[in-house]
């Protein structure tokens, strides 16, 4: 299986393999240094850059040896026609589960011996299809596997997330990308105070982010590109002061709105390294814009939505972003193009 270096680092962080965060050495940087060290020792192979992300796979010998060392703790379950009801797991030491679902079939409603699971990754074996995961199956899993730190369920089929997600007090990483039916997020999700990574990419029918999102004070990464029904970000996002990557942000640029995230609010997210945002309104509130001083920002993408009179240079100068090393400025409605297509390299 191929993976990106940033995905692997995010998984390491979720499992606690990189230790604790501190201001002098962020976990993202520490993870990248570890990755480079393993790369230098030939643990990885078949490197390529795709959408400016480093993609590779684990060396075959390293992979086989890791499986030998962790036998009983790792399992890959393939759901295909003919084995839907087969015995899935008898190992009580299972920690990490990957489920591959054939097109047209569903994630099982019950996973035996799931009590000690630390991670669950679900995907379809068809490139043009998403894994079918019912709300009942997700509910059962959250009741069983309360020690989960990482949940990756791209293509979840329900219109909302079960309230049972409140059981996952240790959860640090949640990926619900391409969940086309997802319309709302439960308040229980925003009581998971350890959550650090939240991916909602291409949840086309997601209608809003609730104000309670401000409770996720440990969140470092939030992605919502492709959530076309989102009209605004709530003001409470200003409380997410540990964010280093924020993709798909919607910003009101013409006034300070008491309910919507406005341009001056960016000043409080001063740890941002990577930012993509859509700015709405018909002119820049210069006073608010001048508050923005994101000194750590390395990459920014700005999409103009509306008839803003000012040009690219004026907007960048107003936002104090003209010195950002990498930026992309767009006036067409396409948040998904460019260097931030899916995951970001650290």
Please write the tens of the pLDDT for every residue from 225-278. 999 999 999 999 999 999 999 999 999 988 888 899 999 999 999 999 999 999
Number of neighbouring beta carbons within 10 Å of residue 48: 9
Confidence of residue 344 (pLDDT cuts 50, 70, 90): very low
Split at pLDDT 50, 70, 90, the class of 309 is: low
pLDDT value at residue 316: 76
**Packing angle between helix 5-15 and helix 27-40, nearest 10 degrees?**
120
pTM of this structure:
0.89
What pLDDT score does 339 carry?
Answer: 41
**CA distance linking residue 315 with residue 303, whole number of Å:** 11
pLDDT band at 306 (very low <50, low <70, confident <90, very high): low
What is the residue-averaged pLDDT of the chain?
86
Mean pLDDT of the region 282-309? 83
Which of 141-150, 177-186, 311-320, 334-343 is most confident? 141-150
End-to-end CA distance of the chain: 21
Q: In the prediction, which pLDDT does 61 show?
A: 93
Q: What residues does 194 pair with on adjacent strands?
A: none
**Are residues 278 and 303 in contact, defined by beta-carbon separation less than 8 angstroms?**
yes
Q: Measure the CA angle with vertex 147, ends 146 and 151; round to 5°.
A: 90
Distance CA 302, CA 247 (A): 10
**Span 317-326, average pLDDT:** 79
CATH class of segment(s) 73-83+92-230: alpha beta
pLDDT tens-digit profile of 182-216?
A: 999 999 999 999 999 999 999 999 999 999 999 99
Counted residue by residue, the chain has a size of 346
The predicted model gives 16-24 an average pLDDT of: 80
Mean pLDDT of 136-148: 94
The pLDDT value recorded for residue 83 is 63
- The pLDDT assigned to 89 comes to 55
Q: What angle do CA 250, 232, 253 make, to 5 degrees?
A: 55
Average pLDDT over residues 169-177: 96
How do residues 61-117 score in pLDDT, each as one tens digit?
998 998 888 888 988 888 877 665 444 556 678 999 998 888 777 788 888 889 999
* pLDDT for the residue 119: 97
């Amino acid at each position: 299986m191929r993976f990106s270096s940033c995905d692997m680092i995010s998984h390491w962080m979720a499992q606690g393999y990189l230790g604790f965060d501190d201001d002098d050495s962020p976990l993202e940087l520490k993870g990248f240094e570890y990755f480079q060290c393993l790369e230098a020792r030939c643990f990885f192979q078949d490197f390529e850059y795709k959408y400016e992300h480093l993609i590779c796979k684990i060396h075959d010998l390293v992979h086989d040896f890791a499986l030998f060392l962790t036998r009983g703790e790792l399992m890959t379950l393939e759901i295909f026609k003919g084995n839907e009801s087969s015995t899935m797991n008898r190992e009580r030491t299972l920690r990490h589960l990957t489920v591959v679902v054939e097109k047209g079939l569903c994630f099982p409603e019950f996973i035996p011996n799931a009590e000690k699971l630390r991670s669950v990754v679900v995907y379809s074996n068809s490139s043009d299809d998403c894994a079918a995961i019912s709300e009942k199956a997700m509910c059962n899993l959250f009741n069983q596997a309360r020690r989960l730190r990482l949940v990756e369920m791209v293509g979840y089929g329900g219109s909302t997330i079960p309230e049972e997600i409140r059981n996952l007090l240790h959860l640090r990483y949640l990926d619900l990308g391409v969940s086309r039916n997802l319309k709302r997020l439960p308040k229980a999700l925003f009581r998971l105070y350890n959550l650090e990574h939240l991916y909602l990419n291409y949840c086309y029918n997601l209608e809003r982010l609730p104000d309670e999102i401000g409770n996720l004070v440990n969140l470092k990464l939030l992605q919502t590109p492709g959530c076309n029904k989102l009209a605004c970000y709530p003001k409470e996002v200003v409380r997410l002061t540990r964010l280093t990557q924020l993709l798909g942000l919607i910003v009101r640029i013409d006034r300070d709105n008491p309910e919507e995230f406005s341009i001056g609010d960016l000043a409080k997210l001063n740890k941002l390294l990577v930012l993509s945002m859509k700015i709405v309104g018909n002119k820049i509130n210069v006073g608010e814009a001048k508050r923005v001083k994101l000194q750590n920002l390395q990459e920014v993408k700005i999409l103009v939505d509306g008839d803003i009179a000012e040009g690219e240079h004026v907007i960048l100068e107003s936002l104090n972003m003209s010195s950002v090393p990498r930026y992309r400025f767009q006036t067409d409605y396409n948040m998904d193009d460019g260097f931030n297509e899916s995951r970001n390299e650290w």
